[in-house]
Amino acid sequence: MKTRQVRTALIGCGKVGRIHAGALATLNCSKLVAVCDGHHERAEGFAKEFGGDAFVDVAEMIETAEPEAVCICTPHPLHADPAVLALNAGVHVLVEKPLAATLADCDRMIAAAKASGATLSVVSQRRWFEPVARVKAAILAEKIGKPSLAVVGMFNWRDASYYESDPWRGRWATEGGGVLVNQAPHQLDLLHWFMGEIEEISGAWSNINHPTVEVEDTAVAIVRFKSGALGSIVASLGQKPGLFTHVHVHGSNGASVGVETDRGASFIAGVSSIAEPPLNDLWNVPGEEDRLSTFRDVDRNRFSRIDATSHYHVLQIEEFLHAIILRHAPAVSGEDGRTVVAMFTAIYRSQRDGMPVKFPVIA
């Protein structure tokens, strides 16, 4: 049976936009009809390379090209306006992470999706990493009892040339924040996905190693979950060279499972690739202690056969389009995206007010 093709478009023909355009141009379930960028030559270049018509204005693109779904790959404070425009027109939206830079923007986007019935989803492609899915499956199967303690550790690096590569990077007004807003949303999403609803967060942030930028390069936080579980977050861009990023979950039966989502510095779209495979780095499940080396062999072997930098984006974009075709909710919801924004907002507010921040966090 031939798959239905969703009429798709891309907003934001920049670095990660290239990965989205490649997916939208090649997936069986997508017909790329338009690409849009504030810079005309970027849109023209993408149209030539990937297909579709080029636009500089989102409203005009939606009216003329009539996409059913768009991927939004603009800088963080510029996610909400094109998303609301599209959702108001009944167009389904997949936004790059984080959903937005502020809770007020998240609420506008979620309200627009509710009002029109269109789907709102957010990229969190690390959920499709096999070792991440294995951790989630182990938790669901209660192999660690109840998840009772989680540890996120990100020891990453970005140098001055990264911040100089685009004028929006490194500033509160145009990036919305630092490591919490740009690099850590993936692991914040995994933490919430693994552990469940959050009760409160206390946190602190600093810029320890990047004197030329305004935003934080380091943050730490204590998370209390509604279940009574605890979590800790240390997210930093201050280790040169970048070391690793992991998410570990310890359970009520004493067992532990974990994943190293990134080795070294995490990849920079359009600049570097995922150089080493994501791997389980902890698997103390009773009766499964010998499985870690097999998991790692399987995952290393797969890594040598795929382009991991685009592969997991393609899987999530495909899942989003299938959800539209089959009229069910996508794996990652707009509310999931809002939770991540609430998590970093809570850390900023906790430092500002000198107290823990209760959930739900209001805009």
Q: How far is the CB of 234 from ligand NAD (least distance, A)?
A: 20
14 binding ligand NAD? (CB under 6 A): yes
**Total of residues contacting ligand NAD (CB under 6 A):** 26
Query: Within 13 A of 242's CA, how many CA atoms are on the CB side?
Result: 25
Pair 27, 52: CB distance under 8 Å: no
Residues shown for the chain:
363
Q: How far is the CB of 123 from ligand NAD (least distance, A)?
A: 5
Which position among 30, 102, 121, 125 is part of the footprint of ligand NAD (CB under 6 A)?
125
Which position among 70, 138, 269, 279 is part of the footprint of ligand NAD (CB under 6 A)?
269
> Binding pattern to ligand NAD, positions 221-260, x when CB under 6 A?
----------------------------------------
Q: Which residue, 82 or 153, is less far from ligand NAD as judged by CB?
A: 82
- DSSP β-bridge partners for residue 260: 246, 279
Q: Which residue, 82 or 330, is less far from ligand NAD as judged by CB?
A: 82
135 binding ligand NAD? (CB under 6 A): no
Q: Which residue, 168 or 243, is less far from ligand NAD as judged by CB?
A: 168
Q: How far is the CB of 56 from ligand NAD (least distance, A)?
A: 7
Pair 71, 24: CB distance under 8 Å: yes
* Dist. CA 233–CA 180, nearest whole Å: 10
- Give the residue among 310, 336, 314, 323 at the shortest CA–CA distance from 92: 323
Interface contacts to ligand NAD, rule CB under 6 A? 11-17, 36-39, 42, 58, 73-76, 78, 82, 96-97, 123, 125, 166, 182, 269
